[in-house]
Amino acid sequence: AIRMTQSPSSFSASTGDRVTITCRASQGITSFLGWYQQKPGKAPKLLIYGTSTLQSGVPSRFSGSGSGTDFTLTISSLQSEDFATYYCQQYYSYPLTFGGGTKVEIK
Amino acid sequence: EVQLVESGGGLVQPGGSLRLSCAASGFTFSSYWMTWVRQAPGKGLEWVADIKQDGSETYYVDSVKGRFTISRDDAKNSLYLQMDSLRAEDSAVYYCAKEDLVWGSYRKFDYWGQGTLVTVSS
């Protein structure tokens, strides 16, 4: 199975900060990567698919980049509603796998 | 409006069985892959299984192969997960999600249910 490793696992940031979350795949997955946001007690929400395509309705402050094994999710200016846990997911091959998650907390 | 509503969770003893259901509405259910994802308490997301539109293809994470069976009833707009030989490590919130294939390649879980809790304990 392809292992997805996210870093950091958690960090604190302030509203307005530019934040970057990294996801590394244990083998190349071309651009078959998605990002999800999850708030406590809620279902995950799709943010980005195909590495960089924003899901409809997702604010443009979210962006994704990368290819092969290294990917990033960037939030250009952190808003209060962005404090959550973020997961990357590969769908290059089965079993589909998620990263361990990155919790973004308020500083 | 797309809605996915899971049901069937609960407390079950190790070795027991449970059948989860996911009722779908607001989209043409028969046209989409569907998937199950779980989340153990305080842990991350784990993909469990998915099923093609016509049920002709199913895939599972290794840890549930031979114990869980994903199925669908397009006439009832429903997705199922039959879980047998349950273990403590299967305890989790189970989410169903609509799976869309964009340009035939890019998978995205674009709608999720609220989840149903399964607890395996004696």
* Strand runs labelled E in chain A: 4-7, 10-13, 19-25, 33-38, 45-49, 53-54, 62-67, 70-75, 85-90, 97-98, 102-106
How large a percentage of chain A has pLDDT more than 70?
A: 100
* Residue B103 clears pLDDT 90, i.e. is over it: no
Rounded Cα–Cα distance for residues A40 and A6 (Å) = 19
Q: Half-sphere exposure of B44 toward its Cβ, with a 13 Å CA cutoff?
A: 20
Write the residue in B44, B107, B108 that is nearest to A101 by C-beta. B44
**CB proximity A64 to B under 8 Å:** no
Q: What is the pLDDT of residues A64-87, one digit of tens each?
A: 999 999 999 999 999 999 999 999
